[in-house]
């Protein structure tokens, strides 16, 4: 805690010594954003040293950590004390601050909500250069409520206090197969209502082939599967009716193959896996390869040679459970990306949710994650498929995450993402606009 206090003092002193009139941005080594942006000139602010876990109180069910702490470090620190963060996003390099500023989700979300629903307190470096302690009921509750989904445009999280839950050594996962979406989502609704599991997510491999993965902590296991090297987790859902994983391996089960997206860099071939080695089979490696490809334009060139027009469709959208089957049918019919990741989310009580990411209170929403490229022979206007998805999501009363490409008009965008709350908080904590505007950042990629 002393070291944290010193870091804060140094940060404030540095900001006072080198004031800037211009918009600032964050320096980071890794990112889970999927929006290409033109490289921006300085000034950038480096908070990467705010990366320590400060306190784990498993008995009280809380963890306090600096904003740039990665989840891989946070999980190790909490598991060592018999606990885990109440929601652990699936990718190891996601940071605690990033998951609160964006929208973090996982298989505990059907009981715990989104990452930001598990946050008890935030220290925020605001656009006007203050560091404020914010909670749901103190004088900065407006900033606390508007911080999730603001993507760093209201300030940067320097410290986060979040809830933890107790763990056991292993997770037993049942893979329940469903031949149609209506019955599958009816079972999701039942499991959410009874909270009769510790983890719940699923995958649609085809319109008639869906699996719900129902996980429960257990103290002992007859065996523990290893999906960190030669075996591939997502394939196991179709191959076996149930499975056991060590708790840590369960939490990172999707990271080794970036769900299934490692296929795009050839990493599912046994030989390539061996060449890469266990240590490099993870989302951080694949991100580096994808960013390198985006820089050198290899994919673009390959598509041009094949005469293909490719649109990147990398989206996570949340749909009220009553319309989930309808949305999935739309996705199969109009988009065609498979597999699709499915994860239910319990919405917080009315008035308690994030101001900029409203989910319908009192109901479960289903997160659909689909990440691929949609090809066409005929040229299409940029974002044609993404635009269609945005319209459908809105028509069904859903909302989409803003970590990748968005094509909303300003009117559409602000009708969805809490315009009034955002503007009021922006005026109060960043009156000179040192941090970018949310629409400009997420849609205009500025
Ligand atoms: C392919 C893909 C799959 C994903 N899958 C999942 C998933 O399964 N589960 C899940 O939970 N999430 C998922 N995400 C979303 C991810 O959690 C968010 O994009 C999150 O914001 C990333 O956090 P990061 O720490 O990597 O931050 P970055 O990607 O570096 O930054 C994200 C944004 O947050 C801002 N930011 C970063 N740190 C802070 C801070 N300390 N304070 C304020 N603002 C900050 C940045 O300025 C930036 O605008 C996925 C994203 C992608 C691209």
pTM of the model: 0.94
Nearest CA to ligand 1 atom 13: 104
Please identify, by atom number, the ligand 1 atom nearest to the C-alpha of residue 124.
42
Per-residue pLDDT at 41 exceeds 60: no
Closest CA to 171 of 86, 76, 256, 244: 244
Per-residue pLDDT at 428 exceeds 90: yes
pLDDT, tens digit, 9 for 90 and up, residues 22-32: 667 787 766 76
pLDDT, tens digit, 9 for 90 and up, residues 242-282: 999 999 999 999 999 999 999 988 999 999 999 999 999 99
Distance 33 CA to ligand 1 centre (A): 6
Residues with CB under 6 A from ligand 1: 26, 28, 31-34, 67-68, 89-91, 93-95, 97-99, 101-102, 104-105, 151-152, 156-157, 314, 371, 403
Share of the chain above pLDDT 90, in %: 82
- Tokens 């404030």 map to which residue? 12
Interatomic CA distance for residues 163 and 7, integer angstroms: 24
Please identify, by atom number, the ligand 1 atom nearest to the C-alpha of residue 25.
47
Contact 169, 84 (CB under 8 A): no
Please identify, by atom number, the ligand 1 atom nearest to the C-alpha of residue 67.
41
- Structure tokens given for 142: 């407006």
Residue 166: strand, helix, or coil = strand
At residue 33 the predicted structure's pLDDT band, cuts being 50, 70 and 90, is low
Q: What is the DSSP letter of 333?
A: I
- Structure tokens given for 297: 């334009």
Cα atoms in the 13 Å half-sphere on the side-chain side of 419: 7
Nearest CA to ligand 1 atom 50: 32
Q: Hey, CA dihedral for 104, 106, 109, 110, is it positive or negative?
A: positive
Q: Hey, CA dihedral for 151, 312, 268, 295, is it positive or negative?
A: negative
Rounded to the nearest 10 degrees, how much is the dihedral formed by the CA atoms of 268, 269, 275, 281? 0
Distances (CA, A) of 127 to 404, 432, 441: 24, 8, 15
Domain residue ranges of the chain, discontinuous segments joined by +: 2-167+423-442
At residue 173 the predicted structure's pLDDT band, cuts being 50, 70 and 90, is very high
Distance 70 CA to ligand 1 centre (A): 11
H/E element, 170: strand 170-178
CATH number of 2-167+423-442: 3.30.465.10
Give the pairing of strands 170-178 and 242-246: antiparallel
């Amino acid at each position: 805690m002393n070291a944290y206090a010193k870091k804060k003092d140094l940060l404030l002193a540095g900001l006072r010594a080198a004031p800037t009139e211009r918009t600032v941005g964050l320096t980071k080594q890794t990112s889970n954003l999927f929006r290409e942006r033109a490289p921006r000139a300085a000034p950038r602010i480096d908070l990467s040293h705010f990366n320590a876990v400060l306190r784990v109180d498993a008995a009280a069910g809380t963890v306090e950590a600096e904003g740039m702490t990665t989840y891989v470090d946070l999980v190790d620190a909490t598991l060592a004390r018999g606990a885990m963060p109440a929601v652990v996003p699936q990718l190891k390099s996601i940071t605690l601050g990033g998951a609160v500023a964006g929208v973090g989700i996982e298989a505990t979300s059907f009981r715990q909500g989104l990452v930001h629903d598990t946050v008890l307190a935030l220290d925020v470096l605001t656009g006007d250069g203050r560091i404020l302690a914010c909670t749901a009921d103190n004088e900065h509750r407006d900033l606390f409520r508007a911080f999730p989904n603001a993507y760093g445009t209201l300030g940067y999280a320097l410290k986060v206090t979040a809830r933890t839950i107790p763990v056991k050594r292993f997770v037993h996962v049942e893979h329940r197969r469903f031949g149609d979406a209506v019955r599958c989502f009816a079972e999701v609704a039942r499991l959410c209502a009874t909270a009769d599991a510790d983890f719940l997510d699923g995958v649609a491999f085809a319109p008639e082939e869906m699996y719900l993965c129902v996980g429960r902590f257990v103290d002992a296991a007859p065996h523990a599967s290893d999906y960190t090297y030669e075996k591939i987790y997502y394939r196991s859902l179709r191959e076996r009716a149930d499975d056991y994983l060590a708790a840590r391996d369960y939490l990172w089960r999707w990271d080794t193959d970036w769900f299934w997206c490692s296929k795009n860099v050839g990493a599912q071939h046994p030989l390539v896996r061996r060449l890469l080695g266990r240590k490099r089979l993870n989302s951080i490696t694949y991100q580096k390869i994808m960013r390198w490809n985006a820089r050198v334009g290899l994919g673009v060139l390959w598509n041009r040679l094949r005469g293909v027009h490719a649109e990147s469709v990398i989206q996570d959208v949340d749909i009220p459970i009553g319309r989930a089957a309808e949305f999935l049918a739309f996705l199969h019919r109009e988009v065609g990306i498979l597999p699709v990741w499915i994860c239910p989310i319990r919405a917080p009580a009315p008035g308690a949710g994030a101001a900029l990411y409203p989910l319908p209170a009192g109901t479960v929403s289903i997160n659909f994650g689909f990440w691929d490229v949609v090809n066409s022979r005929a040229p299409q206007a940029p974002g044609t498929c993404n635009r269609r998805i945005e319209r459908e999501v809105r028509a069904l009363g859903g909302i989409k995450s803003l970590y990748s490409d968005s094509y909303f008009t300003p009117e559409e965008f602000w009708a969805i993402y809490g315009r009034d709350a955002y503007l009021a908080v922006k005026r109060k904590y960043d009156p000179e606009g040192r941090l970018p505007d949310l629409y400009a950042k997420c849609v205009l990629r500025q």
